[in-house]
Structure 1
Amino acid sequence: MDTIIKFLSAGELPSKRHEARNLRVRAALYALVEGVLYKKSFSLPYLRCLRPSESVYALQEVHEGICGQHLEGRTLAQKILRQRYYWPTMMKDAIEFTRRCDKCQKFTPISHTPVAPLTLVVSPIPFSMWGMDLLGPFPMASGQRRFVVVAIDYFTKWTEAESLATITSAKCEDFFWKNVVCRFGVPRALVVDNGK
């Protein structure tokens, strides 16, 4: 940042040609106002550039100061950015700062995200792919029916359902034959969870 300040205030350029060109390109993103360096921003007013010692103080105050909320790294950096402060390694420094915070390490809830990313199952043709599941037991209805068998088309989200008194493979096959195959034709795929 010192080289940018020298260039903007006195027009000093490095002796090497490619370094001078890089400095000019980088300096176009900054402005020097009354001796203070600011980063230009499209959506926000100018952001005041902080030196390393000032950036550590800003991280401490926002993270654990009077109104500190012990935010995680990215959120901490975004909050400092909303306060109109900036330095080039802001995101990396905020993440490292929160990793060194003892309170955050002890009391931050652990994320239980799935190990494998979820994949979207898409059906290109209506009524070609159905999902089927059993629900219940529910409170007793007429005819001692306590369970529901449900089939849903993946493309249109059309739903077919029927109540059952007991769950048997014959009743599930009969439901699928009457409500899906006879009405919409034989599907290309049927997704079930095998009773889990």
Structure 2
Amino acid sequence: MRLGKKASQYTLVNEVLYKRSFSLPLLRCLNPYEAEYAFREVHEGVCGSHISARTLAHKVLKQGYYWPNMYKDATQFVQRCKKCQFFAHLIYQPTEELTTLIAPWPFAQWGLDLLGPYMKGVGSVTHLIVGVDYFMKWVEARPLSSLTSKKVEDFVFSSIICRYGISNQIVADNGTQFNYSSFRDFYSSYGIKL
């Protein structure tokens, strides 16, 4: 039964074996020597660009050729190509252990930072305040014309608390805008750890 299904996908035309395809015309079946030649021509021939194994198999397939172990053979062919191995991208970074997530759920912990000064923009804006959620890496930002603790409080209230709820913790550097007593009172009134 299985052999009958597989055999129905193939046909002989003028003593040459072809495979029927859904989206392409008949695909000519190649023997191992012809397959090696097809790979060589597509991979390193006149228009060859030393492509990856998967792309190589797709290009040969689109040229109208087929054999059962096409993808496995393409992987082995690319692994044997000296130029591909010599000029392959190397990873120079040392391996590192996986780090666990610091934030337990989205919008529970935010990082705040001030960026600038930049050239004056519309409304005399020279700085930028940025809040980044530790869990999803979501970014909230607002341009500022002056660096005061009141502006930072307004940003935290309108862009973080009103949009995403009260977070457990906000991490900030020891900038003067984050160290005012009024700013610490603002955090403690919402139960946020600074």
**What is the TM-score of this pair, normalised by structure 1?**
0.63
Percent sequence identity over matched residues?
Answer: 39
Aligned pairs for 1:11-90 within 5 A:
21-90=1-70
Give yes or no for contact 2:29–2:65 (8 Å, CA) kept in 1. yes
The reply to whether residue 139 of structure 1 matches residue 122 of structure 2 is: no
- Once the two structures are superposed, residues 113-156 of structure 1 have per-residue CA deviations (whole angstroms, 9 ceiling, x without a partner) of xx87xxxxx97xxxx779664352242548996431145899xx
Which structure 2 residue ranges, 5 or more long, are not aligned? 99-104, 174-194
Alpha-carbon distance in structure 2 between the residues aligned to 1:191 and 1:80? 55
- Identify the range of structure 1 (63-72 vs 34-43) with the bigger mean alpha-carbon deviation: 63-72
How far did residue 178 of structure 1 move? 4.9
TM-score, normalisation: structure 2: 0.63
TM-superposed deviation, 1:180: 4.1
Instruction: State which of 46, 65, 71 in structure 2 corresponds to 1:91.
Output: 71
How many aligned positions are there? Answer: 163
Q: Is contact 2:115–2:130 with CA below 8 Å preserved after alignment?
A: no
Cα distance in 2, alignment partners of residues 185 and 99 from structure 1: 50
Structure 1: gaps of 5 or more residues: 1-20, 117-121
Distance 2:79 2:127 in 1: 50
Q: Deviations over 1:165-192 (max 9, x none)?
A: 4587x864453135543x5583457786
Aligned counterparts of 1:87 and 1:176: Cα–Cα separation in 2? 62
Structure 2 residue 87 is matched with structure 1 residue 107: yes
* Equivalent residue for 1:163, pick from 144, 149, 166: 144
Q: Please point out which of 137, 140, 155 is paired with 1:175.
A: 155
RMSD: 4.2
User: 1:161: Cα distance to partner?
Assistant: 1.7
